Protein backbone atom coordinates (compact mmCIF):
# COMPACT_ATOMS: atom_id res chain seq x y z
CA UNK A 1 0.00 0.00 0.00
CA UNK A 2 1.44 3.34 -1.10
CA UNK A 3 1.80 6.05 1.52
CA UNK A 4 1.03 9.53 0.28
CA UNK A 5 3.79 11.92 1.30
CA UNK A 6 3.34 15.62 2.01
CA UNK A 7 4.52 17.85 -0.79
CA UNK A 8 6.51 21.01 -0.11
CA UNK A 9 3.54 23.38 -0.01
CA UNK A 10 1.52 21.21 2.36
CA UNK A 11 4.56 20.88 4.61
CA UNK A 12 5.15 24.66 4.70
CA UNK A 13 1.44 25.39 5.24
CA UNK A 14 1.35 23.04 8.22
CA UNK A 15 4.55 24.54 9.56
CA UNK A 16 3.04 28.02 9.36
CA UNK A 17 0.02 26.85 11.36
CA UNK A 18 2.26 25.34 14.06
CA UNK A 19 4.31 28.53 14.29
CA UNK A 20 1.19 30.70 14.63
CA UNK A 21 -0.34 28.44 17.27
CA UNK A 22 2.87 28.77 19.27
CA UNK A 23 2.52 32.57 19.00
CA UNK A 24 5.81 33.09 17.23
CA UNK A 25 6.50 36.56 15.83
CA UNK A 26 5.98 37.35 12.15
CA UNK A 27 9.74 37.72 11.89
CA UNK A 28 10.31 34.17 13.21
CA UNK A 29 7.55 32.72 11.01
CA UNK A 30 9.04 34.32 7.92
CA UNK A 31 12.59 33.11 8.73
CA UNK A 32 11.54 29.54 9.58
CA UNK A 33 9.45 29.17 6.43
CA UNK A 34 12.25 30.53 4.26
CA UNK A 35 14.87 28.22 5.81
CA UNK A 36 12.78 25.09 5.27
CA UNK A 37 11.79 26.16 1.77
CA UNK A 38 15.46 26.63 0.82
CA UNK A 39 16.40 23.24 2.24
CA UNK A 40 13.64 21.43 0.33
CA UNK A 41 14.48 23.23 -2.90
CA UNK A 42 18.16 22.35 -2.52
CA UNK A 43 17.53 18.66 -1.79
CA UNK A 44 14.94 18.25 -4.56
CA UNK A 45 13.21 15.68 -2.38
CA UNK A 46 9.90 15.30 -0.68
CA UNK A 47 10.13 16.88 2.82
CA UNK A 48 9.67 13.48 4.48
CA UNK A 49 12.61 12.05 2.53
CA UNK A 50 15.10 14.65 3.76
CA UNK A 51 17.52 13.30 6.36
CA UNK A 52 20.45 14.41 8.51
CA UNK A 53 23.03 14.07 5.72
CA UNK A 54 20.90 16.25 3.43
CA UNK A 55 21.01 19.03 6.03
CA UNK A 56 24.78 18.71 6.25
CA UNK A 57 25.12 18.80 2.45
CA UNK A 58 23.03 21.98 2.30
CA UNK A 59 25.13 23.66 5.01
CA UNK A 60 28.39 22.63 3.33
CA UNK A 61 27.24 24.23 0.07
CA UNK A 62 26.23 27.47 1.79
CA UNK A 63 28.88 27.72 4.51
CA UNK A 64 30.74 30.63 2.89
CA UNK A 65 27.49 32.61 2.64
CA UNK A 66 26.13 31.97 6.13
CA UNK A 67 27.18 33.78 9.29
CA UNK A 68 27.12 31.98 12.62
CA UNK A 69 23.78 33.56 13.61
CA UNK A 70 22.31 32.53 10.23
CA UNK A 71 23.41 28.92 10.74
CA UNK A 72 21.89 28.88 14.22
CA UNK A 73 18.56 30.23 12.91
CA UNK A 74 18.59 27.74 10.01
CA UNK A 75 19.16 24.73 12.27
CA UNK A 76 16.53 25.95 14.74
CA UNK A 77 14.04 26.36 11.89
CA UNK A 78 14.64 22.86 10.51
CA UNK A 79 14.61 21.24 13.94
CA UNK A 80 11.32 22.98 14.81
CA UNK A 81 9.67 21.92 11.55
CA UNK A 82 10.67 18.26 11.61
CA UNK A 83 10.21 17.79 15.35
CA UNK A 84 6.70 19.21 15.25
CA UNK A 85 5.45 17.86 11.92
CA UNK A 86 7.28 14.56 11.53
CA UNK A 87 8.33 13.85 15.13
CA UNK A 88 12.02 13.50 14.25
CA UNK A 89 15.05 15.72 14.67
CA UNK A 90 17.05 15.63 11.45
CA UNK A 91 19.54 18.14 12.89
CA UNK A 92 20.66 15.81 15.67
CA UNK A 93 24.43 15.68 16.02
CA UNK A 94 25.08 18.75 13.88
CA UNK A 95 27.23 21.17 15.86
CA UNK A 96 26.00 24.73 16.27
CA UNK A 97 28.64 27.44 15.96
CA UNK A 98 29.14 29.70 18.93
CA UNK A 99 27.32 32.99 18.69
CA UNK A 100 29.59 35.76 17.51
CA UNK A 101 29.87 38.41 20.21
CA UNK A 102 30.83 41.36 18.08
CA UNK A 103 31.04 44.79 19.68
CA UNK A 104 28.24 46.80 18.03
CA UNK A 105 28.84 50.25 16.57
CA UNK A 106 27.74 53.15 18.76
CA UNK A 107 26.72 56.65 17.72
CA UNK A 108 27.54 59.76 19.72
CA UNK A 109 24.61 61.62 21.19
CA UNK A 110 25.02 64.36 18.57
CA UNK A 111 25.04 61.87 15.68
CA UNK A 112 21.80 60.20 16.72
CA UNK A 113 19.17 62.78 15.75
CA UNK A 114 20.85 65.89 14.35
CA UNK A 115 20.72 64.92 10.67
CA UNK A 116 16.93 64.41 10.41
CA UNK A 117 14.62 67.24 9.34
CA UNK A 118 11.30 65.44 8.75
CA UNK A 119 9.22 65.79 11.93
CA UNK A 120 7.70 62.29 11.93
CA UNK A 121 11.01 60.63 11.05
CA UNK A 122 12.79 62.58 13.77
CA UNK A 123 10.21 61.46 16.32
CA UNK A 124 10.61 57.82 15.25
CA UNK A 125 14.40 57.95 15.54
CA UNK A 126 14.17 59.83 18.85
CA UNK A 127 11.95 57.06 20.24
CA UNK A 128 14.34 54.34 19.06
CA UNK A 129 17.24 56.04 20.82
CA UNK A 130 15.54 57.53 23.88
CA UNK A 131 13.63 54.35 24.80
CA UNK A 132 15.97 51.65 23.51
CA UNK A 133 13.33 50.10 21.27
CA UNK A 134 13.74 47.13 19.01
CA UNK A 135 12.24 48.04 15.63
CA UNK A 136 9.42 45.51 16.03
CA UNK A 137 8.50 47.04 19.40
CA UNK A 138 8.15 50.50 17.90
CA UNK A 139 6.16 49.40 14.85
CA UNK A 140 3.78 47.49 17.17
CA UNK A 141 3.36 50.39 19.63
CA UNK A 142 -0.28 51.47 19.94
CA UNK A 143 -1.54 54.84 21.13
CA UNK A 144 -3.24 53.06 24.05
CA UNK A 145 0.17 51.80 25.22
CA UNK A 146 1.21 55.31 26.31
CA UNK A 147 0.41 56.86 29.70
CA UNK A 148 1.38 60.54 29.64
CA UNK A 149 0.23 61.12 33.23
CA UNK A 150 2.76 58.55 34.47
CA UNK A 151 5.30 59.27 31.71
CA UNK A 152 5.57 55.57 30.89
CA UNK A 153 4.57 53.20 28.13
CA UNK A 154 4.44 49.49 27.45
CA UNK A 155 6.02 47.53 24.62
CA UNK A 156 3.43 44.77 24.42
CA UNK A 157 4.49 41.18 23.77
CA UNK A 158 8.09 42.20 23.06
CA UNK A 159 10.84 39.65 22.45
CA UNK A 160 10.22 36.60 24.61
CA UNK A 161 6.46 37.27 24.44
CA UNK A 162 6.45 39.57 27.45
CA UNK A 163 5.42 43.18 28.06
CA UNK A 164 8.18 45.68 28.73
CA UNK A 165 7.85 49.02 30.51
CA UNK A 166 9.69 52.06 29.16
CA UNK A 167 10.00 55.67 30.32
CA UNK A 168 8.76 58.51 28.12
CA UNK A 169 11.36 61.31 28.12
CA UNK A 170 10.04 64.77 28.98
CA UNK A 171 11.36 66.32 25.76
CA UNK A 172 9.19 63.97 23.66
CA UNK A 173 5.89 64.24 25.53
CA UNK A 174 4.38 67.18 23.60
CA UNK A 175 5.36 65.77 20.21
CA UNK A 176 3.99 62.36 21.16
CA UNK A 177 0.70 63.89 22.30
CA UNK A 178 0.39 65.61 18.94
CA UNK A 179 1.17 62.34 17.14
CA UNK A 180 -1.47 60.51 19.20
CA UNK A 181 -4.13 63.11 18.37
CA UNK A 182 -3.22 62.92 14.68
CA UNK A 183 -3.55 59.13 14.71
CA UNK A 184 -6.89 59.31 16.53
CA UNK A 185 -8.22 61.70 13.91
CA UNK A 186 -7.08 59.32 11.18
CA UNK A 187 -8.67 56.41 13.06
CA UNK A 188 -5.31 54.65 13.44
CA UNK A 189 -4.59 52.36 16.40
CA UNK A 190 -0.80 52.40 16.06
CA UNK A 191 1.38 55.33 17.11
CA UNK A 192 3.06 55.34 13.70
CA UNK A 193 1.50 54.18 10.45
CA UNK A 194 2.40 54.18 6.77
CA UNK A 195 0.49 54.29 3.51
CA UNK A 196 -0.68 50.71 3.89
CA UNK A 197 -1.46 50.81 7.58
CA UNK A 198 1.05 49.60 10.17
CA UNK A 199 4.56 50.95 9.69
CA UNK A 200 6.99 48.23 8.61
CA UNK A 201 10.53 47.44 9.74
CA UNK A 202 11.65 48.30 6.22
CA UNK A 203 10.18 51.82 6.49
CA UNK A 204 12.31 52.51 9.57
CA UNK A 205 15.42 50.99 8.03
CA UNK A 206 15.08 53.42 5.11
CA UNK A 207 14.74 56.39 7.48
CA UNK A 208 17.93 55.39 9.32
CA UNK A 209 19.91 54.76 6.13
CA UNK A 210 18.87 58.10 4.65
CA UNK A 211 19.75 59.98 7.84
CA UNK A 212 23.12 58.24 8.02
CA UNK A 213 23.91 59.17 4.43
CA UNK A 214 22.91 62.82 4.92
CA UNK A 215 24.97 63.10 8.12
CA UNK A 216 27.96 61.44 6.38
CA UNK A 217 28.34 59.03 9.27
CA UNK A 218 31.04 56.52 8.37
CA UNK A 219 29.67 53.66 10.45
CA UNK A 220 27.56 50.58 9.71
CA UNK A 221 24.33 52.01 11.11
CA UNK A 222 21.05 50.12 11.48
CA UNK A 223 17.93 50.81 13.59
CA UNK A 224 19.37 48.46 16.24
CA UNK A 225 22.44 50.74 16.44
CA UNK A 226 20.25 53.27 18.26
CA UNK A 227 19.35 50.62 20.84
CA UNK A 228 23.05 49.85 21.30
CA UNK A 229 23.74 53.56 21.71
CA UNK A 230 20.92 53.90 24.28
CA UNK A 231 22.43 51.11 26.40
CA UNK A 232 26.00 52.34 26.07
CA UNK A 233 25.15 55.92 27.02
CA UNK A 234 23.23 54.69 30.08
CA UNK A 235 26.29 52.72 31.09
CA UNK A 236 28.49 55.79 30.66
CA UNK A 237 26.06 57.68 32.90
CA UNK A 238 26.72 55.10 35.66
CA UNK A 239 23.28 53.45 35.46
CA UNK A 240 23.40 50.01 37.09
CA UNK A 241 23.69 47.23 34.51
CA UNK A 242 20.76 45.33 36.04
CA UNK A 243 18.53 48.37 35.53
CA UNK A 244 19.74 48.56 31.92
CA UNK A 245 18.86 44.87 31.59
CA UNK A 246 15.27 45.60 32.63
CA UNK A 247 15.00 48.65 30.36
CA UNK A 248 16.22 46.62 27.38
CA UNK A 249 14.00 43.67 28.21
CA UNK A 250 16.88 41.18 28.27
CA UNK A 251 16.12 37.81 29.87
CA UNK A 252 19.78 37.16 30.65
CA UNK A 253 22.25 39.59 32.18
CA UNK A 254 24.98 38.12 29.94
CA UNK A 255 23.28 39.73 26.93
CA UNK A 256 23.35 43.13 28.60
CA UNK A 257 26.97 42.70 29.67
CA UNK A 258 28.02 42.99 26.04
CA UNK A 259 27.65 46.75 26.53
CA UNK A 260 30.19 46.70 29.32
CA UNK A 261 32.79 46.21 26.57
CA UNK A 262 31.46 49.00 24.36
CA UNK A 263 31.84 52.19 26.37
CA UNK A 264 34.79 53.96 24.75
CA UNK A 265 34.34 56.99 27.00
CA UNK A 266 35.02 54.86 30.06
CA UNK A 267 38.07 53.31 28.41
CA UNK A 268 39.47 56.76 27.61
CA UNK A 269 39.45 57.63 31.32
CA UNK A 270 41.79 54.78 32.23
CA UNK A 271 45.38 55.90 32.73
CA UNK A 272 48.34 53.67 32.08
CA UNK A 273 50.06 52.54 35.31
CA UNK A 274 53.32 53.94 33.94
CA UNK A 275 51.94 57.50 33.93
CA UNK A 276 53.36 59.55 36.77
CA UNK A 277 56.68 57.77 36.77
CA UNK A 278 59.75 59.81 35.91
CA UNK A 279 61.44 57.67 33.29
CA UNK A 280 64.48 59.99 33.19
CA UNK A 281 65.09 59.65 36.89
CA UNK A 282 68.36 58.15 38.01
CA UNK A 283 66.66 56.84 41.11
CA UNK A 284 67.87 53.36 41.84
CA UNK A 285 65.44 50.59 42.70
CA UNK A 286 66.66 47.74 44.78
CA UNK A 287 65.45 44.26 44.02
CA UNK A 288 63.16 42.91 46.67
What does the H/E/C string look like for 200-257?
A: CHHHHHHHHHHHHHHHCCCCCCCHHHHHHHHHHHHHHCCCCHHHHHHHHCCCCHHHHH
Active-site residue identified among 79, 164, 227, 228: 227
Confidence of residue 286 (pLDDT cuts 50, 70, 90): very low
At 263 the pLDDT is 52
Active-site residue identified among 134, 164, 228, 233: 134
At 285 the pLDDT is 44
At 274 the pLDDT is 61
At 287 the pLDDT is 46
- Segment among 101-105, 168-172, 216-220, 234-238 with least mean pLDDT: 101-105
At 14 the pLDDT is 95
Instruction: Judge whether 66 and 59 are in contact, CB under 8 Å.
Output: yes
Judge whether 82 counts as a catalytic residue. no
269 has pLDDT over 50: yes
Long-range contacts (CB closer than 8 Å, 24 or more residues apart) made by 163-167:
164/137, 164/249, 166/131, 166/132, 166/133, 166/247, 167/131, 167/247
Judge whether 224 counts as a catalytic residue. yes
236 has pLDDT over 90: no
At 283 the pLDDT is 47
At 111 the pLDDT is 66
Mean pLDDT, to the nearest integer, of 262-273?
56
Domains of the chain: 8-85 (1.10.150.130), 109-268 (1.10.443.10)
Mean pLDDT, to the nearest integer, of 43-52?
94
Determine how many CB atoms are found less than 10 A away from the CB of residue 131.
22
169 has pLDDT over 70: yes
134 has pLDDT over 80: yes
Q: Identify the residue with better confidence: 201 or 159.
A: 201
Mean pLDDT, to the nearest integer, of 45-54?
94
Active-site residue identified among 32, 82, 190, 259: 259
Percent of the chain clearing pLDDT 70 (strictly above): 79
pTM: 0.57
Query: What pLDDT digit, counting tens, does each position of 29-41 carry?
Result: 999 999 999 999 9
Query: What pLDDT digit, counting tens, does each position of 58-112 carry?
Result: 999 988 888 777 888 999 999 999 999 999 999 999 988 776 555 566 776 566 5
Mean pLDDT score of the chain, rounded to an integer? 81
Judge whether 134 counts as a catalytic residue. yes
Q: Identify the residue with better confidence: 208 or 47.
A: 47
At 276 the pLDDT is 54
Active-site residue identified among 159, 182, 210, 222: 159
Confidence of residue 284 (pLDDT cuts 50, 70, 90): very low
Active-site residue identified among 16, 120, 222, 224: 224
259 has pLDDT over 80: no
Judge whether 159 counts as a catalytic residue. yes
* Residue in 242, 271, 269 with CA at minimum distance from that of residue 254: 242
47 has pLDDT over 50: yes
At 280 the pLDDT is 56
Amino acid sequence: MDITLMDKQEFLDKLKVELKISKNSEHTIRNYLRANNELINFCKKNPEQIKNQDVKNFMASKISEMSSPSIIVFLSAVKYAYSNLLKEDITEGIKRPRKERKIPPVLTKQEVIDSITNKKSKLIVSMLYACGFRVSELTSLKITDLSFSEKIGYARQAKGRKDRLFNIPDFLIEELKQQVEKQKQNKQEYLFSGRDGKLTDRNIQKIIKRATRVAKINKDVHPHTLRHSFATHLLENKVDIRIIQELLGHSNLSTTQLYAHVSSEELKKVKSPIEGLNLNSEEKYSEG
